[in-house]
Structure 1
């Protein structure tokens, strides 16, 4: 990952994991999707259709801009075709640029909350509940601050000629 300062949360491995999908904008955040098992392009398209599109349409109608990283399932032909069929726009995003993507700040803050004080979970269900509670506790002011940081993030990348930024 390209970052100047990384957030590390220590946790025990091997007890199960949870993968989630979420989105936010200046008006609020989407429902958080709990993703089951390894995801492929078809799974991702389903997540977009069930979570991203309703969220985008409820906030912006069909005049929205969607941002995602370049994970393989995000950049697949199936996903690209699905997104092209939609009426919103999708940002072209540079590879390996988590410092430009404000959702990474959200994931880091959530992980810090979920695993605060070395907290461990006995079951995947307990972990899911903690993740959902963390998502629900994210305040709108924080999300708005992240949205408003985008021009500064982009300027920092330009000034740094694509190198590391403080974000």
Structure 2
């Protein structure tokens, strides 16, 4: 199976050194428009995590870290699979 690397075209991802490293490692990079979080499955998971943690009202940084780890572990693998499976529909 052949894979492609996707990133969000942030300047740190498109720097000369990053491009050179990816090229040197023969990593194929998917042409991708800047700021397209709606097409990237991980962005949907970050949104899920943000809402779940917000509902629990962390009181300090330690609490925030604990709740983030707990809620991340609670994300169902079926949610991840559904987001990946839905990629072709969102791209068209």
Change (3 A) 1:134 1:82: farther
Change (3 A) 1:88 1:126: same
**Unmatched 5+ stretches in structure 2:** none
Structure holding more strand per residue: 1
Instruction: Count residues with an aligned counterpart.
Output: 92
After superposition, residues 16-95 of structure 1 pair within 5 angstroms as 63-95=2-34
CA distance in 2, matches of 1:90, 1:129: 34
1:114 matches 2:33? no
CA distance in 1, matches of 2:74, 2:25: 31
CA distance in 2, matches of 1:87, 1:130: 39
1:136 paired residue number: 73
3-state DSSP class of the match of 1:130? helix
Deviating beyond 3 angstroms after TM superposition, the runs of 4 or more aligned structure 1 residues are: none
CA distance in 1, matches of 2:69, 2:21: 28
**Unmatched 5+ stretches in structure 1:** 1-59, 156-167
| TM-score, normalised with respect to structure 2 | 0.83
Structure holding more helix per residue: 2
3-state DSSP class of the match of 1:66? coil
